[in-house]
Amino acid sequence: MRKSHYMLINNQYTFSFRSSSRQRLRRQYQAVARRIEIFSCVLTKTHSQIFFIQISWTKSELQEARRLMAELAVALLPFAVERLWNLTVRETEQFEGVEEQFEGLKNDVDMLRCFLKDAEAKKHASEMVRKTIKDIKEIVFDAEDIVETFLLKKELGQSSSSSVKRMAYVTMKSMGLAFDTKPIRKRISKVILDMQNLGVQKVLVNDRYMQALEVRERDMRQTFSRDEEDHLVGLERNIERLVACLLEEDSPQVFAITGMGGIGKTTLARKVFNHEKIKKHFPGLAWVCVSQQFERKCVWQTILRQLRLECDVSKMMEDEVLEKIVRVLETQKALIVIDDIWREGDWDLIKPIFLPIKGCKVLLTSRNEEVVLHANEQCDPIKPECLTFEESWDLFQRIAFPIKDTSGGLLRKKYTLHQWKTIRENIKVRIVTGSGSDDRNINTKVYDVLNLSFEDLPAYLKHCFLYLASFPEDCEIDVETLSYYWAAEGILSPIYFDGASIREVADICIEELVKRNMVISKRHVKTFRFETCQLHDMMREVCLHKAEEENFVKTIDTSAENSKSLCKSRRLAVVQKFGERLNVDREVKNPSLRTLLFIKCRRWEATSLFFTRNRLLRVLDLSRTGFEGGKVPSSIGELINLRYLSLQWSNATQLPSYMRNLKKLLYLNLNIYPYRVYMPNILKEMRELRLLCLPTNLHEETNLEMGNLVKLETLKNFCTEHGRSLIIKNKRRYTRTNDDEEGFVWDFVHLRQLELEIYMPRLPDEQHFPSHLTTIHLKECCLEKDPMPILEKLIHLREISLHVRSFSGSRMDCSRDGFPQLQKLENFGLEEWEEWIVEEGAMPILHTLYIQSCRKLKELPDGFRFITNLEDLKVEGMGEKFNLRLSEGYLTSHLTTISLNGCPLTEDPIPVLEKLIHLKEISLQYRSFTGRRIVCSRDGFPQLQKLRFDGLNELEEWIVEERLHAPSPYSPY
């Protein structure tokens, strides 16, 4: 790609791209072009042998076109420079009075874009190109800081009450911008001159570099069907399972093995391919390695050559090869292994040869689970797991102490005790990068294999992945917090934000990384979200290595001396060991710092100097930070670029009014406990806020205006104590005597999560609630009227939590077709609740129900038996007369977990529970059974894995009949 233009001609908007390669241009835009049916699209060739693609649209189609163009840009252009380019284009009108300086900077940035389009792809082939890219990225970041700071200061100046002051302010800052752009433009000129002098441009146009790189990668990825593995441990179960599936006549056609690079997918496939039963069952066997660069004809030729040795495939046309393979597969049984397939489109290219023929089986291996599911939606892929401790020790012994040659393996050298300790401490680094090892060629293969997964990521996912290098080893990373780190940095892909929240977009990114087997995470069974994630040790070493190579983030570990070096990265993560002291003013000295995270840090004191020194920060996590006298310095208001701020668990008791300058905040966490916090009216200008967590204990004089927070998605700890009021919308006061239905947060149209701890005798009607609300938590509301008739009409609600005294009435009704999306319901401490009516058809997909300390509730409702999707039931602390109705068959057969605590059952519950064939976990605790005898009958509980008895004081006898499918592991108490 050489150049791009955006213009308005005859009321038609046009976006155009140029390239010297027709094939490259068509290939790059093929996927997106299918989606631009409403636009005119023209491909032409100019007199200078440059191919030109032009996409035009009318003004009415502008919004859709802009979204698609943003998608093209994210997919094709280097991330940071494109973000700066979009900023300069979007904000052109804001640079009145400094047009000349601004246009000069914009043109310079455009030159860098043109360079980076080709350079990013070729950086691995030339150290010189890599160095140039690093220099350019630093320039781009500095330019972005200058432009954004100017815009924000201008916005602050315009909000001044005096128009004279505002004009003077803007004029002064415009002069400041003109002064600041000169050194940036000089640096751009220098790097371009260096590129010319050093011949960087010649490197980029010389295809030999890329050809050599592609050949090397193709050779490295090539796999073969020969079984040459000497040391195999822990594969036996998966081998037998796959062989059995492939031999079954009525089994699906496509099977698969997925997992991270290097986990053993190809080895497992090779063992299956060479298994004696497979060879005997399938007369036709073919193995082909696809990888990332391949031609369909070559793949088909390779398959045919192995199925029919006598065929001369070299002279066949593609359609001839296809026809021949189909005829072969119709006449004999065959197993075809497609090894290392990367993309869904690759399968679509290959699959025409695989007609639905009964005797033909296909075995895929892929790092990307999405590819497998695309090939077979019903596929349950085999996922090789890491070895157990015993298996790892067995494998180590085979390699380190070979039977035939005790001097070989790891022990071919004599190491001292100190050297062995060093090996132990750095074993993962040595394995992945080969550093400090004589087997560097072998070890770098490990890195190269894992690195392929990283290089295959789109730009935004590369940044998401590298961000994980900020966290300590084995750290379970909170996905909600991580999602706002990503959003504040602007590294979440905008193509996913079509009506989705930041949290939902982050879930999409985590899911993509999980499916590519680069991140370990599972959707929570109760929320269906990715709540935490972490990295496999080997993949983490790749992440750290790439982060260091890209200068993406620097980590300061107070327990490691070698990490306490001058930080030149724009991101800094501080990990503080317990008992270690940290002097932030001494350690953090980079004025260009954009992100500062204090991870698992104990108290350290933030001074006014700290904020003054770090004015360009976008992300600042000050959890557990101390402030002198509990006063947050007013200099925090100078961090006008800030998008993320957390003061969670700090000792802050007084926030400065200057915090109102932080207009770009997306995330503000003020969950400060147990201190009483004085909070000025600082929120009304923070129009970009998506998540707001208020202090749990606000000063009685606090008045907050929040009506402007129209983009808010999550509001936490919103409460009034002893009738205190918060001014929220239109300056209405909501007090204990006000029954106004208009409410106070209902116009937050993007709000998805709401936590309320406020006195309000009744809920407003459903039309006053945010239309996208998915989660609501109520506490201390003292609702006199049943909230269910209103809440059940909020069609997007997925989770409801009614906590202590949120409802003071005696009866709840859930009507037919109510709560169509509800998945989790939790009722806790509802002291007056006696009766619950559930009609058939209510809560059709509810899977989790918790009832605790509702002592007047008489029984589970009749309609409970209609909630057939219920999987998790917990009932605790109920009254003496509570009836669980076990004998009436009200418990759904889909239950997987049941926990009873303080629910006095007089009859043995086991005869009923053991018939629930999906049960995996049972917990009977503290007086949940007051009888003396429990009997587990023959063949009961076929899937039970955990059984817990605790505090059953009357239990004397437990009988387990022979041949019971006992739980494993089994943990009675």
pLDDT at residue 810, as a whole number: 93
pLDDT > 70 fraction of the chain, expressed in percent and rounded: 68
Mean pLDDT of 524-540: 83
Confidence of residue 917 (pLDDT cuts 50, 70, 90): confident
Position 728 in a domain: no
CATH of the domain at 360: 3.40.50.300
Which range of 558-572, 743-757, 887-901 scores highest in mean pLDDT? It is: 887-901
Into how many domains does the chain fold? Answer: 5
pLDDT at residue 789, as a whole number: 94
Mean pLDDT of 694-711: 82
pLDDT in tens, 15-38: 444 444 444 444 444 433 433 333
Backbone angles phi, psi at 317, to 5 degrees: -80, 165
pLDDT at residue 591, as a whole number: 84
In the predicted model, is pLDDT for residue 132 greater than 80? no
Position 823 in a domain: no
Average pLDDT of every residue of the chain: 75
Which range of 33-42, 549-558, 949-958 scores highest in mean pLDDT? It is: 949-958
Measured CA to CA, the distance from residue 932 to residue 954 in angstroms comes to 5
Is residue 538 located within the same domain as residue 624?
Answer: no
Q: Of 495, 522, 551, which residue constitutes the final position of a domain? A: 551
Token code pair at residue 43: 């491909």
Mean pLDDT of 263-290: 91
Is residue 539 located within the same domain as residue 625?
Answer: no
Measured CA to CA, the distance from residue 584 to residue 439 in angstroms comes to 41
Token code pair at residue 890: 């009200």
Q: Does residue 567 contact residue 556 with C-beta atoms inside 8 Å?
A: yes
Instruction: Write the DSSP symbol of residue 678.
Output: B
Is residue 492 located within the same domain as residue 601?
Answer: no
In the predicted model, is pLDDT for residue 133 greater than 90? no
Longest dimension (CA), the chain: 96
pLDDT at residue 46, as a whole number: 36
Q: Does residue 715 contact residue 683 with C-beta atoms inside 8 Å?
A: no
CATH of the domain at 547: 1.10.10.10
pLDDT at residue 27, as a whole number: 43
pLDDT at residue 658, as a whole number: 92
Is residue 613 located within the same domain as residue 671?
Answer: yes
Position 376 in a domain: yes
For 523-585, where are the E strands, in sequence order? Answer: 532-533, 554-557, 571-575
In the predicted model, is pLDDT for residue 9 greater than 70? no
Is residue 598 located within the same domain as residue 545?
Answer: no
* Low-confidence winner among 84-88, 339-343, 537-541, 819-823 (lowest mean pLDDT): 84-88
Q: Does residue 664 contact residue 640 with C-beta atoms inside 8 Å?
A: yes
Domain of residue 879, residue span: 871-965
pLDDT at residue 117, as a whole number: 55
Confidence of residue 385 (pLDDT cuts 50, 70, 90): confident
Token code pair at residue 138: 């630093």
Mode of pairing for the β-strands spanning 799-802 and 554-557:
unpaired
Is residue 590 located within the same domain as residue 528?
Answer: no
Measured CA to CA, the distance from residue 79 to residue 353 in angstroms comes to 39
pTM: 0.66
pLDDT at residue 52, as a whole number: 40
pLDDT at residue 525, as a whole number: 67
Is residue 188 located within the same domain as residue 271?
Answer: no
CA 927 to chain centre: 42
Mean pLDDT of 693-720: 80
In the predicted model, is pLDDT for residue 200 greater than 50? yes
* Low-confidence winner among 84-88, 263-267, 620-624, 740-744 (lowest mean pLDDT): 740-744
Give me the amino acid identity at 582.
Answer: L
Q: Of 649, 682, 712, which residue constitutes the final position of a domain? A: 712
pLDDT at residue 517, as a whole number: 87
| Dihedral sign for Cα atoms in the order 325, 330, 336, 342 | positive
Q: Of 502, 519, 551, which residue constitutes the final position of a domain? A: 551
Position 167 in a domain: yes
pLDDT at residue 799, as a whole number: 93
For 853-960, where are the E strands, in sequence order? Answer: 872-876, 897-901, 921-925, 933-936, 946-950, 957-960
Distance spanning both ends of the chain, measured CA to CA: 68
Choice between 293 and 706, residue whose per-residue pLDDT is larger: 706
Is residue 377 located within the same domain as residue 462?
Answer: no
In the predicted model, is pLDDT for residue 503 greater than 80? yes
pLDDT in tens, 217-265: 555 555 656 655 556 777 888 898 899 999 988 888 999 999 888 788 8
Give me the amino acid identity at 629.
Answer: G
CA 200 to chain centre: 37
Give me the amino acid identity at 166.
Answer: R
SS3 category, 267: helix
Confidence of residue 604 (pLDDT cuts 50, 70, 90): confident
Is residue 492 located within the same domain as residue 529?
Answer: yes
Choice between 113 and 322, residue whose per-residue pLDDT is larger: 322
pLDDT at residue 750, as a whole number: 74
Measured CA to CA, the distance from residue 326 to residue 329 in angstroms comes to 5
Position 303 in a domain: yes
pLDDT at residue 51, as a whole number: 39
* Low-confidence winner among 362-366, 370-374, 743-747, 759-763 (lowest mean pLDDT): 743-747
Mean pLDDT of 734-743: 38
Q: Does residue 562 contact residue 586 with C-beta atoms inside 8 Å?
A: no
Q: List 898's β-bridge partners, or say none.
A: 873, 922
Q: Exposure of 32 by Cβ count < 10 A (0-12 exposed, 13-18 middle, 19+ buried)?
A: middle
Position 843 in a domain: no
Instruction: Write the DSSP symbol of residue 765.
Output: P
Position 788 in a domain: no
Measured CA to CA, the distance from residue 82 to residue 623 in angstroms comes to 32
pLDDT at residue 790, as a whole number: 93
Is residue 245 located within the same domain as residue 379?
Answer: yes
CATH of the domain at 692: 3.80.10.10
Mean pLDDT of 426-430: 59
pLDDT at residue 828, as a whole number: 94
Is residue 201 located within the same domain as residue 281?
Answer: no
In the predicted model, is pLDDT for residue 125 greater than 60? no
Position 693 in a domain: yes
Is residue 69 located within the same domain as residue 166?
Answer: yes
| DSSP letter for each residue of 641-656 | T--EEE-TT----B--
